[in-house]
Amino acid sequence: MSRSFLTGRFLPAHGKSFARMTGYRIDAQLTTEELRKRFEERRAFRRTRRAMYTTALLGGLVGAMGLLILILNADLRPSQVAMLDVAEQELVQMEEIVQTVQIERPPPPPRPPVPVAVPDDTIFDEDVELDLDALLDLNDAVAALPPPPPPADDEEEAEPEIFTVVEQMPEIVGGYGALMSDVRYPEDARRAGIDGTVVVQVVVDENGRPVQPAVVRSVHPRLDEEAIRAIMQQEFKPGMQRSRPVKVRTNISVRFRLVG
């Protein structure tokens, strides 16, 4: 026999095994209706405890969340005064270092030699006789001078300046047509189909004569020779600078063109 948990009464032996399996102590003398009622009370008690546990759990969670929110929103930064102190301590003042220039001073002048005392007997020799009555012979001194250099030859007359630009440039007597009338097209160059413009540079002197011919732009040796020959046969009006004829260097073009 055992005492019932609900009624306090003793249960038979088979009631013990049922109590171990279900967790309840059942009185065999209770009716079905009483037993059902007590089971309902037990369920209600468990529901109440479960609701209290759930409420306590939710309250704990809410409290933990509130505490976490307070910690996250708390101002953990140092005060303004502390920040100013740290800023003042970490302030580094930068100073610009001016590069100095080393001035090289000239070396001091050498010291003058220290005079050394010389005995009087080394300067004057009592045995030497000075002839103060001797006269200077000027003729001997003049004869000792070297002869003057021979007179230089008369300097050659300076070469007149050659101008490139003057007030009035030299011109071919008869114009450019007179030059082209004297030009003869080389037959071998004609057969080879060679043509072009040859530029010849000449110096026209004060008398209007062409000298010092030079080909500035070449087309073919045969055409170059013919252009020089025709130009050197021309007569020019000399260039004028300040109303006087001067030498002028000028360029003349000769055009060789095949027709047909």
The chain-wide mean pLDDT, for the chain, equals 76
Pairing mode of beta strands 210-217, 2-3: unpaired
More confident residue, 93 or 183: 183
* CA–CA separation, 30 and 36 (whole Å): 10
* CA–CA separation, 95 and 232 (whole Å): 82
Taking only the tens place, the pLDDT of each residue in 122-157 is 444 455 454 545 454 555 544 555 666 666 554 456
* CA–CA separation, 244 and 205 (whole Å): 12
Q: Is it the case that residue 3 has pLDDT exceeding 60?
A: no
Q: Is it the case that residue 38 has pLDDT exceeding 80?
A: yes
Query: What's the pTM?
Result: 0.41
Predicted local confidence at residue 1, as pLDDT: 42
Of the candidates 184, 187, 200, 192, the one whose C-alpha atom is nearest the C-alpha of residue 254 is 200
Determine the average pLDDT of the residues in 53-64: 90
Predicted local confidence at residue 238, as pLDDT: 94
Query: Please, where in the chain does CATH 3.30.2420.10 lie?
Result: 162-256
Q: What is the DSSP code string of 107-119?
A: PPPPPPPPP----
Q: Is it the case that residue 256 has pLDDT exceeding 80?
A: yes
- Distances 247 to 37, 100, 133 between C-alpha atoms, Å: 151, 64, 73
Correct CATH for 162-256 of 3.40.50.720, 3.30.2420.10, 3.40.50.300, 2.30.40.10: 3.30.2420.10
Q: Is it the case that residue 222 has pLDDT exceeding 90?
A: yes
